[in-house]
Structures are given as C-alpha cells and as structure tokens.
C-alpha cells in the first residue's frame, strides 16, 4: 500500500444553504435550512410532494458564453464550484493543461431540463427540426466531466462517475486513489445535480418523498425521526482539488484537510432496498484503508435521507462498525438530498467542521425512531468538539456504498 498522503488544497461549492464555506458554516451553526415550497409543481399531475431545495445565485449569464455553449444547468453548477476550487488551489491554466492534472466528476445523469427541451421538440413534432447541434452534449450522462475537461483543457485521465447518490463521493474516492498511486499528480474531483420535478417524481412514485409538510417546509426532512415521511430533493455542486502532501508543502499551498481513507462496495442484493451489511462493509473498508480503529472517528456525517428503510439500515450499520459513542448527524436535514452532488457537498461541510470545531445537529430530530439503532445522535443545537477525523457516508440505488474519512493536517 502506498504511503503517499493525499490532501485537499482547494474547494468550492454551491448549495441550498450557501455558495461559500463561510455561508454554509453559518447556516449549519444557526440551523438555517434551504427547504422551500415549490408552487409551480402544482401543474404536475400525480406529484404529491411540493418540497425541494434549490440553489440561488448561480446563473448561466455569469459565465463566458463561448465556454458554456454545451453546458446545461448541472454543468454550470459544476463549473461554478470548480472555478472556486481551482482558484483556491492556485492551479494555473498551463498546469491544468499539462497532463499532470486529472478529473473525476459525476452526477446522477445530465441536465434534465435540457433533456426535457430536447424531448418536447423531438416527440412533440416527430421531427429533428429545431434541435441545436449541441443539444445532446448538455444532457449526456457525463456532461459535467466532459464539459469541465474542455473548460479547463485538462489532458490527464478523466473518470466519470454516474452512480446516483454516490456520484461525487466515488469521484473524490477515485481521485484520491489516482493521486495516492501516483497515476496523477493532481486531481480535480466532485459532483453536481440540478433540480427538476422529475427527480422528486422518481422518489414520489416509490412513496419515498416527504408530503405531510408541504405547507411547512421548515419541518422536513426529518432523518431518523419517528415522524419522518420521506426525503426532499435538492441541487448543488461541489469540487475539491487533491494532491500529495509532499507536493502541496513543496509549493507552499494551503492545506485544508486530508483524505485518510476511502471504501466503496456493492450490496449485490436489491436495486433499491439498502443493506446494513453492505453499508457497514464500506465503512470498514474506509477504516482499513486509513489504518484506523473505530475509536479514531470523532464524528460521522450520515447519509441520513429521512427514508424509513435507509435510516434504519444505516443506523444499524453504523452501530455495528463504530459503536454507540461516536456523534452522528445528517446535514441533509439542511440541504435536502442533492443526489449526485451530496457526497461532495458534505465533504466540504466536513472540512468546515474540522476548521471550526463543531458538530451540527440533525434538524427536526425531535423523537428518535425506536427502530433506528441507539447511536449518539446530535440534536437540538450544535456541539462544540475538537474534531480530528470525520467519516462521511453515502449510499445509492444499485446498492452502491461509499465511505470517506477526512482528517485535519
């Protein structure tokens, strides 16, 4: 196993609770959420939920037109986050094009709004007339990775992760492995998702969305709570820059955190029903990769989507691997479930917690569901805590599980 240490020298994000580290840390410390009622979803037949968490302050007009002609909103969000990460890390245009920099980036799929426009033209008229030559490029599954590679002129390896809710956490994990193994000197990694009513609809028809609090968005979602009634969908993007500790120190870069371990596996059992064994297996793989025991983890940022099956399985897995002493909470209670972006967004949240030494509570966790494992749930208000190592867990349809362990340097 390589002893190369992999550190984070840049980050950027846009999220329902803010588009900078200071903004999101303030939101988590003051329990400010980004859940909104979506009145224009009233026109969608049979859609029961009316809650979502959009990003504000990121528009296509903010970017040079020539550089974004093949970008839909999901890629625009990824460019917003990546610009800030690349600038923070001090990566020059020449270096980005040198071949020494690779890219790992994911989303659940491409731009759904652009796919909708494409489909309305083609299937509404049974004709290709009116389509632009760039239409497909905006909604292809790897639109974020492909567009970012062109945007920065990246000539190193490009890893595209299209794995639903672990898209960005897998991207960060694979980027970590690329740097650790010496395959790439530097990696730009993360994920993005744009908001569309069909994203809510996919979960809605499975009876997995929150519907009881449509008129009270502040009361949902409710991870691990006895009154939870499902998830809320959101949007956003997050990007981190990874490089070796030695290179970062040699060039005088500021280091914001370290990737200590990564684990990913598959349940191999059911495409939508989560497995506590699979979840726990990913956590143990991350611990083994980091060469750490369970007592070394100071906090767990749970996947915590507020679905019944997910919350119960995840809490069971966490108890088995880490025991009942480690503080746990779900930041999706603030941002909703940002799908392919969540692992990246939550990674940056964890960096902020390491910086500011606090653990945010799970919002709306008033009464812990008795069917959830007895963990050290953080609720009510923030806890001050000296954090050195955080585990960030994410799980996806297809039984794909990820666990990242982050540490202060």
* pLDDT per residue as tens digits for the range 347-376: 999 999 999 999 999 999 999 999 999 999
Catalytic residue among 33, 109, 199, 337: 337
Average pLDDT over residues 305-331: 98
Annotation says 142 is catalytic: no
State what percent of residues in the chain have pLDDT above 90. Answer: 98
CA-based nearest residue to 389, from 301, 312, 330, 275: 301
Can you name the residues that pair with 396 across neighbouring β-strands?
Answer: 400
Annotation says 337 is catalytic: yes
How far does the chain reach from its first CA to its final CA, in angstroms? 20
The torsion angle over the Cα atoms of residues 13, 18, 22 and 24, rounded to 10 degrees, is -90
Establish how many alpha carbons lie within 13 A of residue 178's alpha carbon, considering only the half-sphere containing its beta carbon. 24
pLDDT averaged over every residue in the chain: 97
* pLDDT per residue as tens digits for the range 11-66: 999 999 999 999 999 999 999 999 999 999 999 999 999 999 999 999 999 898 88
Query: Looking at residue 163, what is its pLDDT?
Result: 97
Residue 30 has a CB neighbour count (10 Å cut-off) of 11
Peptide bond into 221 cis (omega under 30): yes
Query: Looking at residue 42, what is its pLDDT?
Result: 96
Residue 271 has a CB neighbour count (10 Å cut-off) of 8
Backbone angles phi, psi at 176, to 5 degrees: -60, -45
* pLDDT per residue as tens digits for the range 76-88: 999 999 999 999 9
Q: Cα separation of 54 and 252, whole Å?
A: 37
- Sign (positive/negative) of CA torsion 280, 286, 292, 295? negative
DSSP code of 362? P
Residues in the chain: 409
Average pLDDT over residues 201-215: 97
Q: Cα separation of 6 and 295, whole Å?
A: 22
Q: Cα separation of 348 and 238, whole Å?
A: 7
CA-based nearest residue to 408, from 382, 390, 384, 394: 390
Average pLDDT over residues 231-258: 98
Query: Looking at residue 2, what is its pLDDT?
Result: 80
Determine contact, residues 247/227, Cβ cutoff 8 Å.
no
- Sign (positive/negative) of CA torsion 20, 257, 254, 166? negative
Query: Looking at residue 310, what is its pLDDT?
Result: 98
- Residue 293: pLDDT band (50, 70, 90) is very high
Annotation says 196 is catalytic: no
Q: Domains in the chain and their CATH numbers?
A: 6-407 (3.40.47.10)
- Residue 153: pLDDT band (50, 70, 90) is very high
Query: Looking at residue 261, what is its pLDDT?
Result: 98
Residue 397 has a CB neighbour count (10 Å cut-off) of 16
Whether 390 has a pLDDT exceeding 60, the answer reads: yes
Catalytic residue among 144, 165, 302, 342: 165
CA-based nearest residue to 405, from 274, 297, 325, 267: 297
CA angle at 73 for the pair 72 and 75, rounded to the nearest 5°: 70
State what percent of residues in the chain have pLDDT above 70. Answer: 100
Average pLDDT over residues 304-331: 98
Query: Looking at residue 1, what is its pLDDT?
Result: 56
pTM of the predicted protein model: 0.98
Q: Cα separation of 14 and 24, whole Å?
A: 9
CA-based nearest residue to 75, from 107, 52, 120, 118: 107
Average pLDDT over residues 386-398: 98
Catalytic residue among 303, 342, 350, 372: 303
Query: Looking at residue 395, what is its pLDDT?
Result: 98
Q: Six-digit token pair at 143? A: 């639109």
* pLDDT per residue as tens digits for the range 87-117: 999 999 999 999 999 999 999 999 999 999 9
């Amino acid at each position: 196993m390589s002893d190369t240490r992999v550190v984070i020298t840049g980050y950027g994000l846009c999220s329902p609770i803010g588009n900078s580290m200071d903004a999101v840390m303030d939101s988590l410390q003051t329990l400010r959420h980004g859940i909104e009622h979506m009145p224009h979803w009233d026109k969608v037949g049979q859609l029961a939920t009316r809650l979502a968490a959009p990003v504000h302050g990121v528009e296509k007009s903010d970017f040079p037109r020539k550089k974004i002609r093949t970008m839909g909103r999901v890629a625009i969000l990824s460019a917003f986050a990546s610009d800030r990460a690349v600038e923070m890390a001090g990566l020059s245009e020449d270096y980005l094009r040198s071949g020494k920099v690779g890219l790992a980036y994911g989303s659940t799929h491409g731009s759904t709004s652009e796919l909708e426009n494409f489909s309305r033209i083609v299937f509404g008229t049974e004709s290709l007339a009116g389509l632009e030559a760039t239409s497909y490029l905006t909604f292809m599954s790897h639109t974020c990775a492909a567009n970012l590679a062109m945007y920065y002129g990246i000539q190193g390896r490009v890893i595209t992760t299209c794995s639903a809710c672990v898209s960005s956490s897998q991207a960060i994990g694979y980027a970590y492995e690329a740097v650790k193994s010496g395959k790439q000197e530097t990696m730009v990694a993360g994920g993005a998702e744009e908001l569309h009513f069909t994203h809510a609809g996919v979960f809605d028809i499975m009876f997995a969305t929150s519907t009881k609090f449509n008129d009270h968005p502040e009361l949902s979602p409710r991870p691990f709570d006895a009154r939870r009634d499902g998830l809320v969908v959101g949007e956003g993007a997050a990007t981190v820059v990874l490089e070796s500790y030695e290179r970062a120190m040699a060039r005088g870069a500021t280091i914001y955190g370290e990737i200590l371990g990564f684990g990913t596996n598959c349940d191999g059992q059911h495409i939508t029903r989560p497995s506590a064994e699979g979840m726990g297996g990913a956590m143990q793989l991350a611990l083994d990769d980091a060469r750490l025991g369970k007592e070394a983890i100071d906090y767990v940022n749970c996947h915590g989507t507020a679905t019944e099956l997910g919350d119960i399985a995840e809490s069971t897995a966490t108890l088995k691997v880490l025991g009942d002493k480690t503080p746990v909470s779900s930041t999706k209670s603030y941002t909703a479930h940002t799908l392919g972006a969540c692992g990246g967004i939550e990674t940056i949240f964890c960096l902020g917690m390491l910086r500011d030494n606090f653990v945010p509570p799970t919002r709306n966790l008033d009464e812990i569901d008795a069917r959830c494992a007895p963990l050290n749930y953080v609720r009510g208000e923030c806890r001050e805590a000296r954090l050195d190592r955080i585990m960030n867990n994410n799980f996806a349809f297809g039984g794909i599980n990820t666990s990242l362990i982050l540490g202060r340097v």
